[in-house]
């Protein structure tokens, strides 16, 4: 039985048209030693087969499940995440993607690491194509670092005691190793910077641009290695045709020391 958390948490899961991976992700949530207070699926326009996976999951979990959907009009990850954040009732927003399989202590670790005035940027262990296919076929949610097909194994190593000790002496800085599939923020901090910048469309830079504005606002980053373990299922890379345009938006945010985006979260509040 999951114990009550010291503050209310919302787990936000971004997904698009890969119900088999989402099913595996949701199955790993059912095995959490601490559940979030609600689960929100941020769906960037998937067809009905994704809805069916979510409905089946809703029957198995004891917390509310929201399905936030909009029509498929191209890659609009920033927009659907903003809509999910607006709908969230939690104080603390834990963000993953629907192609991520969670270690059983994932939510527990995020809650333990949460600190006022800080956000969390975690990492993920990469699974190769063969292991990913096998896990989906067999609906397997347990991963061992000894398994063939687990890359960057250090990111799958969970040593929370050591992580806590290191965290006393080390504060994360900069923009390296930012993964939108494993992040967490206080909702009030997201409101203060207006969430994701929806001028960023297509793959790339939405998380980095958001973090720059958080830093500019004075929000710091928690050291979050050796905890919050997540495994990323293999998929082909997304189309990067808008990356140059997104880089220009990122450059403007950095050079202007901006803390706010005009087209963001406040559209849905």
The band of 164, judged by pLDDT with boundaries at 50, 70 and 90, is: confident
For the segment 157-181, the average pLDDT, to the nearest whole number, is 85
CB of 28 within 8 A of CB of 141?
yes
Beta-ladder partners of 14: 42, 97
Distance CA 204, CA 226 (A): 26
pLDDT digits (tens, 9 = 90+) for 108-123: 999 999 999 999 999 9
Q: Which residue has the higher pLDDT, 60 or 168?
A: 60
- Predicted confidence (pLDDT) at residue 156 exceeds the cutoff of 70: yes
* pTM of the predicted model as reported, rounded to 2 decimal places: 0.95
Average pLDDT over the chain, rounded to an integer: 94
Please state at what angle helix 160-169 crosses helix 106-113, rounded to 10 degrees: 20
The band of 175, judged by pLDDT with boundaries at 50, 70 and 90, is: confident
The band of 147, judged by pLDDT with boundaries at 50, 70 and 90, is: very high
Domains of the chain are 9-260 (3.90.550.10)
**pLDDT at residue number 238:** 66
């Amino acid at each position: 039985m999951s114990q009550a958390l010291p503050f209310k948490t919302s787990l936000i899961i971004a997904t698009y048209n890969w119900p088999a991976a989402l099913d595996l992700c949701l199955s790993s949530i059912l095995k959490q030693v601490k559940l979030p207070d609600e689960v929100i699926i941020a769906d960037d326009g998937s067809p009905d087969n994704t809805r069916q996976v979510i409905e089946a999951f809703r029957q198995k979990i004891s917390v509310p499940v929201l399905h936030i959907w909009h029509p498929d009009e191209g890659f609009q990850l920033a927009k659907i995440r903003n809509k999910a954040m607006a709908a969230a009732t939690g104080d603390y927003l834990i963000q993953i993607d629907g192609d991520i399989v969670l270690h059983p202590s994932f939510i527990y670790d995020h809650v333990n690491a949460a600190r006022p005035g800080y956000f969390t940027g975690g990492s993920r262990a990469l699974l190769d194509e063969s292991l990913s296919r096998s896990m989906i076929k067999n609906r397997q949610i347990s991963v061992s670092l000894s398994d063939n097909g687990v890359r960057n194994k250090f990111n799958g190593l969970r040593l929370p005691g050591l992580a806590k000790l290191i965290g006393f002496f080390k504060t994360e800085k900069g923009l390296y190793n930012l993964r939108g599939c494993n992040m967490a923020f206080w909702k009030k901090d997201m409101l203060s910077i207006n969430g994701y910048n929806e001028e960023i469309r297509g793959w790339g830079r939405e998380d980095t641009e958001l973090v720059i504005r958080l830093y500019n606002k004075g929000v710091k980053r928690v050291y979050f290695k050796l905890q919050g373990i997540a495994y990323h299922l293999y998929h082909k890379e997304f189309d990067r045709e808008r990356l140059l345009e997104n880089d220009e938006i990122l450059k403007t945010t950095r050079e202007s020391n901006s803390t706010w985006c005009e087209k963001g979260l406040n559209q849905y509040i």
